[in-house]
A and B are shown apart, each in its own frame.
Chain A
Amino acid sequence: MASTEPAAEPPVAGSEAPDRPSDEAILQQQNQIRAEQAKVSEYVGQEENLGALKAEYENGNQNFVQKIGKLEERYRTFRRTRGDGNCFFRGFIYAYLEGLLQNSDLAEANRFMSVVQSWKAKLVEGGFQELVFEDAMELLLEQVKEVTKASDQFAQEKLLVNMRDDMVSNMIVMFLRLVTSCEVQRREDFFFPFILGMYDEPPATVELFCQRHVEPMGEESDHLHIVAVTEALQIPVRVVYLDSSGLPAGGGGGGAGALEASCHDFVPDSCPPGTAPRVHLLYRPGHYDILYAKSG
């Protein structure tokens, strides 16, 4: 599982409560883990053939191999994201911006920019301080303007460079987290059942959930985050769930008995049912990467 949290806290020398490492020690360990991950993978990797994914499982669980084989019928390539707990948000926005760029979709870009701008007032109303998100919002809008200017190789490279930049990339992830949090809190009645019973002490509220599991960087995303952000920005997303389970995917009805990764479409209320997803993500327990559908 890709996690930014140390599984076990290191013991710390000292005269005080011995099971409590200092803030410094915890931060230091977190930074160390981040630095190690940064060495292994970029925030957003290069496009790779699905064969590279299959190779990971060749000597392991054959259910994965079968399912990836099936995926190859519909998907061309994939792109890894760093497993730092922000992979959903980062993969989602990268794939979306890349789609705008490749399709030179000016109408969609304009729609998206006006939705993003509409969140300014909603965030302020939701109690977020402008100084916290205004620069991040500008950065996101700049990226959109940038990708609609040209759709050549250079523009594509530039998007990759920007989304690998600590500041730009994290600011945009932060903005998406705040929008997600705000959406969840604005529609408390709808989202409360999702978190009901998550913890007793203190009792679960959507506000507390957002403070603990949506707003902090590195908190992993779940069904709830995806529903909220796709709804908030009105971007349909398909998530393909790849796990080791051995049951054939229901409803597919394809090859008899063939194992197939199940998928789930997140279609915002404003889009007609069946709207084609703009972003395809591959979920493996604990992690999201980007998928590229075959054209046609």
Chain B
Amino acid sequence: MAVDLGRIQKELKEIERDTASGVTVHLKNNSLQHLTGYVPGPKDTPYEGGLFAVEINLDNGYPFVPPKMRFINKVWHPNVSSQSGAICLDILKDQWSPALTLKTALLSLQALLSSPQPDDPQDAVVAKQYISDHETYKKTAKYWTEAFANPNATAPEEKIAKIVEMGFDRAAAISALQEAGGDENAALEKLLG
């Protein structure tokens, strides 16, 4: 089955237009089926301040089959594997419907960060800690956010500012820097395509 590239293109344009949602999606290697999404950590949670990168792979059956998504950054969360970034979320499995989009899926991930479901865990260790030692869970999640999902670690403010000065969007500058592992020139090359 040929993938519905038209639909994916429309979705990407819509995400770009809707800056209010906070989530972004960028092409990886110029393929419409391999994308990287970015989800800001929700306020008043241990994930606040983090920018979470999500690997998105679209099968040929998309949008009739769900997008494959996993966190690229390490995340300490009951419904995310602390090893692989695999995500336990119903809409990424049997509850997916073609009425949903990449944007709604990423927003659902953001909602999942806000409201963990420890009764339906992906990572049993984290889930156990979430229930039995909530304070330690919060501290660990916060520490992991700062250590692994800190937009400034690979994208420090001065580097972002330089790229933004050249006329690029701030979110695009951050993600390009992150993808380039903090290498400003490589990030610029990516942006210039």
A69 to B9, CA, bound (A): 53
A216 to chain B, nearest CB (A): 4
A229 to chain B, nearest CB (A): 15
Residue from A24, A132, A135, A167 within 8 A of B2 (CB atoms): A167
User: Which of A14, A16, A167, A177 has the most C-beta atoms of chain B within 10 angstroms of its own C-beta?
Assistant: A16
Q: Does B88 contact A (CB under 8 A)?
A: yes
A27 pairs with B68, CB closer than 8 A: yes
**What are the residues of chain A within 8 A of B125 when measuring CB–CB?**
16
Using A16-B81, A131-B11, A178-B99 as known contacts, say yes or no to A5 and B94 having CB atoms under 8 A apart.
yes
Q: Does A20 contact B (CB under 8 A)?
A: yes
Stretch at the interface among B116-124, B149-157, B164-172: B116-124
- Where chain A touches its partner, the secondary structure class is helix
Residue from B64, B88, B99 within 8 A of A181 (CB atoms): B99
| A contacts with B, residue count (CB < 8 A) | 32
A128 pairs with B124, CB closer than 8 A: no
**Residues 49 to 105 of chain B near chain A (Cβ within 8 Å):** 59, 61, 63-66, 68, 70, 81, 83-84, 86-88, 92-99, 101
**What are the residues of chain A within 8 A of B98 when measuring CB–CB?**
132, 174, 215, 217
B68 pairs with A166, CB closer than 8 A: no
A211 to B6, CA, bound (A): 24
A17 to B61, CA, bound (A): 29
B127 pairs with A217, CB closer than 8 A: no
Number of cross-chain contacts by CB at 8 Å: 85
**What are the residues of chain B within 8 A of A234 when measuring CB–CB?**
none
**What are the residues of chain A within 8 A of B92 when measuring CB–CB?**
23
B93 pairs with A23, CB closer than 8 A: yes
A62 to B68, CA, bound (A): 47
Kindly report which residue of chain A lies nearest to residue B121, judged by CB atoms.
A17
Q: Does B139 contact A (CB under 8 A)?
A: no
A95 to B156, CA, bound (A): 61
A212 pairs with B99, CB closer than 8 A: no
**What are the residues of chain A within 8 A of B83 when measuring CB–CB?**
14-16
A217 to B63, CA, bound (A): 10
B2 pairs with A131, CB closer than 8 A: no
A166 to B66, CA, bound (A): 16
Q: Does A22 contact B (CB under 8 A)?
A: yes
Q: Does B4 contact A (CB under 8 A)?
A: yes
Q: How large is the interface on B (under 10, 10 to 19, 20 to 34, 35 or more residues)?
A: 35 or more
Using A23-B68, A27-B65, A170-B64 as known contacts, say yes or no to A132 and B99 having CB atoms under 8 A apart.
yes
Kindly report which residue of chain B lies nearest to residue A4, judged by CB atoms.
B94
Q: Does A116 contact B (CB under 8 A)?
A: no
Q: Does B133 contact A (CB under 8 A)?
A: no
Residue from A17, A24, A170, A177 within 8 A of B68 (CB atoms): A24
Q: Does B134 contact A (CB under 8 A)?
A: no
Q: Does A258 contact B (CB under 8 A)?
A: no
**What are the residues of chain A within 8 A of B1 when measuring CB–CB?**
166-167
Residue from A18, A20, A31 within 8 A of B88 (CB atoms): A20
A167 pairs with B4, CB closer than 8 A: yes
Q: Which residues of B contact A (CB under 8 A)?
A: 1-2, 4, 6-7, 10-11, 14, 59, 61, 63-66, 68, 70, 81, 83-84, 86-88, 92-99, 101, 121-125, 127
Q: Which residues of A contact B (CB under 8 A)?
A: 5, 14-18, 20, 22-24, 26-27, 30-31, 128-129, 131-133, 135, 166-167, 170, 174, 177-178, 181, 211-212, 215-217
Chain A to chain B contacts (Cβ below 8 Å), 25 pairs: A16-B122, A23-B68, A23-B88, A24-B86, A26-B93, A27-B66, A27-B93, A31-B61, A31-B65, A131-B7, A131-B10, A131-B14, A132-B7, A132-B63, A132-B99, A135-B4, A135-B6, A167-B2, A167-B4, A174-B98, A181-B99, A211-B95, A216-B97, A217-B64, A217-B98
